[in-house]
Amino acid sequence: MLSARALVKHYGGTAALDGFSLDLAPGEIAGLIGHNGAGKSTFVEAVTGLTLPDSGTVAVGGLDALRAPRRARRLIGAAPQEIALYPSATAREQLRLFGALVGLRGAVLSKQITALGEELLLTEVLDRQTGLLSGGQRRRVQAATALIGDPPLLLLDEPTAGADPETRAALLDAVRTRAARGAAVLYTTHYLPELTDLDATLAVARAGRIIARGSRAELTRGLPGELRLRLGADSAPLPERFRARAAGSGGEIAGGSGGEIRISSTDAPADLAAVLAAGCTPSTVDIRRPDLDDLYRSLAATPSAPEASRAA
């Protein structure tokens, strides 16, 4: 549904995009993550036609989005990071406007607005001016403007910023429903647990390009998780070879202290078997598998290509 190749965009001496490539299939939710300034918003602007890249290509539903931006734009529902609503218009008026832009009219449009209001918990505020809404409500109205008309490509930039747990859940449900109907969703966030909730594939941006792409399982394979345990009162001490990997955990390595030992481990079941074989008798055991935070940390610790070449 979306295929971007080798996008480059310079702002003065800054390469906001530096060979940014990304593919997105129908029905896929991809989490676009990366540090501030990695190029995520610039990429979304390039796909929506707000920014013209210096080079590279963007295809949306097979259309060349750089040559035919208006036609491509009709296939895209975008909720940018910056709120872009008319403060004096009501939420319903905004949705009428966006609905009309994608060709909805009359009763069909009214029905979609009512349904979106219910879905995103906005029914009570649909007839209020958006300038008078809370930040979280405005963000949901903005998300609704992206969802109206069921576009096949959704670009949602931090749609849950400022959302409380109830409205966050409603937004995530709405995203899942659209993907289940076949929409491709690019979901930018700094809040990694959401991507687990959405069962999203991941695209990690760094210095203007994607440096890792795949399922969460693929990208976290081989990363260390943790074996966490407490040693019982009559336990043998933790074997020497685990002590260095338990350093800094704050746990006690002798039995009976009650402190939690955290052993960095790429194969926690095997390490647990070795600990038990050494006569340790844990009173509690927990295995923490590597998660998105571990992935983020491991990628942050690896210099990107331009940084590496600068450092060389």
User: Does residue 307 come out as left (phi exceeding 0), alpha (psi in the -120 to 50 range) or beta?
Assistant: alpha
By DSSP bridging, strand 2-11 and strand 55-60 are antiparallel
- CB of 47: closest distance to ligand ATP in angstroms? 12
Q: Residue 174 is which amino acid? A: A
Distance, in Å, from the CA atom of 77 to the CA atom of 62, rounded to the nearest integer, reads 16
Q: Which is nearer to ligand ATP, 79 or 272 (CB)?
A: 79
Closest separation in Å from C-beta 122 to ligand ATP: 25
Whether the Cβ atoms of residue 127 and residue 91 lie closer than 8 Å to each other: yes
CB closer to ligand ATP out of 36 and 309: 36
Q: Phi, psi (5° rounding) for residue 287? A: -115, 120
- Report in angstroms how near the CB of residue 70 gets to ligand ATP at its nearest: 22
Taking the complex as a whole, the smallest distance from the CB of residue 248 to ligand ATP amounts, in Å, to: 30
Rounded Cα distance between 155 and 136, Å, is 18
> Looking at beta carbons only, is 13 or 222 nearer to ligand ATP?
13
Both structure tokens of 209: 């390009």
Kindly list the residues in this chain that would bind ligand ATP in the complex (CB under 6 A). 11, 14, 16, 34, 36-42, 81
| Cβ-based nearer residue to ligand ATP, 63 or 161 | 161
Judged by CB, which is closer to ligand ATP: 50, or 169? Answer: 50
Cα dihedral 51, 55, 56, 60 in deg (nearest 10): 30
Q: How far is the CB of 13 from ligand ATP (least distance, A)?
A: 10
